[in-house]
Structure 1
Amino acid sequence: MIRASVVWLIALLGAALTACGGSTSTGEIVVTTNILGDVVRNIVGDTADVRVLMKPNADPHSFGVSAQDAAAMNSAGLIVYNGLGLEENITRNVESAEENGISTLAVGERINPIDYPEGESAGTPDPHFWTDPQRMITAVDVIERTMIREVEGIDTAAVSRNAEQYRQQLRELDTSMARDFAAIPPQRRKLVTNHHVLGYLAQRFDFTVIGAIVPSGTTLAAPSPSDLQSLVGAIDAAGVPAIFVDSSQPEKLANVLAQQAGVHIRIVPLYSESLSPPGTPGGTYLDMMRANADSIVTGLR
């Protein structure tokens, strides 16, 4: 009788502690952005369930989550997010999950981030590290180690095997992009974008960033007339032949800027911040980067 009472008391205390400690982990891996989601799925394979919060063609700076997704975050085995201020609308959701004891990984903080050199975001970390394949190799290293350490019951041998296979694909991507960009003369390796998004690509492959239509690291900012006029002068002085805009963002400002510059400038769309739907040219990270390399070469050569 005493033993039964003790067992009942232990069970009751366990239930109370679970209720006080927040949601019970489901083991599901939740990923905020679809670019990192694709990377995580390549590493995980079929060893765990992966939920990606950001839809195709969405803006990582402004997308939000449903109540169902927010609940999933609070019961996840691990949350993988970009960090460095990218996911502006769901920072509070990540912080809430952390407060409930959920393990999180801010990948951007672990890949030797660079700072914006100019504009409204000058001196703050640039979160767009995925435009550099070498940093994505580092990201795979970080994600692999964290999964093995934090996700209970995951097949660690399969994760390591998958991670190495994907690293090899990233090495091949880096090599092919360098080869493609070698066709662009040094004097034409000049980038103008809709906002500051290609800093890491420029650093890795020896481009010069002339400026951005929105002089900020976020799409939520807006340029002033003086900002646009200053950029027009820089474009004219540098002889920039193309403006690169995100495929999911309106081209209106870019077209206005091209008209103000008084010269023929091509408006070239890139998959710079989001994957496109499956089966399209930007449907995976590897495909997105190959498509972007082709577009940059075509726009500048």
Structure 2
Amino acid sequence: MTTPKRTALRLRRLLPSLLALACAATATACTSTEDQPRVVVTTNILGDITREIVGDEADVTVLMKPNADPHSFGLSAVQAAELERADLVVFNGLGLEENVLRHVDAARESGVATFEAGRAVDPLTFRAHDDGGPEEEGGQPDPHFWTDPDRVRKAAGLIADQVIENVDGVNEETIRANTDRYDGQLADLTAWMEKSFARIPEEKRALVTNHHVFGYLADRFGFRVIGAVVPSGTTLASPSSSDLRSLTQAMREAGVRTVFADSSQPKRLAEVLRTELGGRVRVVELYSESLTEKGKGAGTYLQMMRANTTAMTDGLTTG
């Protein structure tokens, strides 16, 4: 049901077009003020997915820059204003964009349609490691759903629904065709990842990362999460000396000598483990939380996932 706030927003969005029509009808020399529909996306991973779906049907603005950390990036006043002028705001949610969510809430209060992708794709509960013990961090949901391409397929279809419902002037057939094409690419990605990971022996399917970001990938493709240098789902947390001791002990017991560190974060903490474990730890870079600039290794979601799959497979089968 359309709310009074949403009706007012749509009327504001229609005003430039109505003025242009009035100018044409009266042969008045008016400057065109027609405004293209706007979709604003918080993270660059979701931004790439949304652009694949929207195509040229609307302007897609992505707030998070390449190589940024979604847990800590903030907005300028201009970017915050973009949110309240949007027809639709797509955000990850589940606490990921910690400095941006209040601006998303403000846009929603002003009548802008918003879509929280993470909450709509059956989120997992955060668990620090697969030991069968109690769930961590008060049962908080894990926001890193994009490491499971099947959940991204679901999110892409739901984003398409939101665009068609809330963005005036888009062509539904084009949006659906874009979504079907991208869905096929995501299905191909999943099949390729399964084939690649099949090269890793069962006893070596163990993950240690900078922080807990690959829970969905582990759940989907049969990996064990041994632990993380930062024992949290956010990069804003810090490890204690006891955390590091516990992790190095778990790594020794599991025979793990490879740590996967996000390419956008300093690797100092992962390097500490080299000292703790006698210098026999290999640190492998992944693109876990952000895309890169175009041509820099992970310019799209599909490129990011293929690069990570290759790095993980090589890191766990060699050395």
Q: Give the TM-score of the pair, scaled to structure 2.
A: 0.86
Are 1:227 and 2:237 counterparts? no
Q: In 2, distance between residues paired with 1:122 and 1:270?
A: 28
Deviation at 1:122, TM superposition (A): 5.1
Deviation at 1:121, TM superposition (A): 2.8
SS at match of 2:259: strand
Are 1:179 and 2:195 counterparts? yes
Q: Give the TM-score of the pair, scaled to structure 1.
A: 0.91
Answer with 145-154 or 197-206: which moved more: 145-154
- Aligned pairs for 1:1-301 (under 5 A) are 24-25=12-13, 27-118=37-128, 121=137, 123-262=139-278, 264-301=280-317
Matched pairs, number: 284
Whether contact under 8 Å (1:128, 1:198) holds in the other structure is yes
Deviation at 1:22, TM superposition (A): 7.1
RMSD: 1.7
User: 1:8 maps to what in 2?
Assistant: none
User: 2:20 maps to what in 1?
Assistant: none
Deviation at 1:34, TM superposition (A): 0.2
Segments of 5+ residues of structure 1 without an aligned counterpart are 1-16
Deviation at 1:118, TM superposition (A): 3.1
Deviation at 1:261, TM superposition (A): 1.8
User: 2:132 maps to what in 1?
Assistant: none
Q: Deviations over 1:133-165 (max 9, x none)?
A: 100000011101111111111111100000000
Q: In 2, distance between residues paired with 1:264 and 1:122?
A: 35
Q: In 2, distance between residues paired with 1:122 and 1:57?
A: 30
Q: In 2, distance between residues paired with 1:71 and 1:118?
A: 37
Q: In 2, distance between residues paired with 1:28 and 1:178?
A: 36
Name the aligned partner's letter for residue 28 of structure 1: R
Answer with 119-128 or 226-235: which moved more: 119-128
Q: In 1, distance between residues paired with 2:200 and 2:123?
A: 26
Name the aligned partner's letter for residue 235 of structure 1: M
Deviation at 1:259, TM superposition (A): 1.4
What fraction of aligned residue pairs are identical, expressed as a percent? 53
Q: In 2, distance between residues paired with 1:189 and 1:228?
A: 21
Whether contact under 8 Å (2:115, 2:162) holds in the other structure is yes
SS at match of 2:137: coil
Deviation at 1:123, TM superposition (A): 1.3
Deviation at 1:66, TM superposition (A): 1.1
Q: In 2, distance between residues paired with 1:279 and 1:117?
A: 34
